Amino acid sequence: MTTTLPLTPGKAALAVAWTAAVVAAWGVYRIGDHLYGRAVATALVVLWAVLPQSVELTIAYTESLFSALAAWSLYWVLKDRWLWAGRLAALAGLSRPSGFAVAAAVLAA
């Protein structure tokens, strides 16, 4: 069997989850910075990272991908970039069954 990446499926899933968690943290930061400034944005990321459910961001679950897509979708709603917001909300809906709430929220906005 020929592989394209030097990673096992489990390691690849972890790499995707960790990368998505960093992208989600960046999205949370950008939302906080846009609304209230850098200090609040930093506090938001720290609080988001220490919540008990944040442990799920470090394992190969879809929470980190969903969080990244939802955060950036909200950011683009705040910036009035509706096509980006809609695309990311649709992807969030595809990443988790409960993700369709993000798409519904963007549609309502």
- The continuous run of DSSP H or E covering 1 comes out as none
Q: Both tokens of residue 99?
A: 């993700």
pLDDT digits (tens, 9 = 90+) for 55-102: 888 888 899 999 999 999 999 999 999 999 999 999 999 998 888 888
The answer to whether residues 58 and 21 touch, using CB atoms and an 8 Å cutoff, is yes
Q: Judging by beta carbons within 10 Å of its beta carbon (0-12, 13-18, 19+), is residue 32 exposed, middle or buried?
A: buried
- The continuous run of DSSP H or E covering 27 comes out as helix 9-36
pLDDT digits (tens, 9 = 90+) for 9-55: 889 899 999 999 999 999 999 999 999 999 999 999 999 989 988 88
C-alpha to C-alpha distances, 97 to 2, 47, 74, 100, 101, nearest whole angstrom: 33, 25, 18, 6, 9
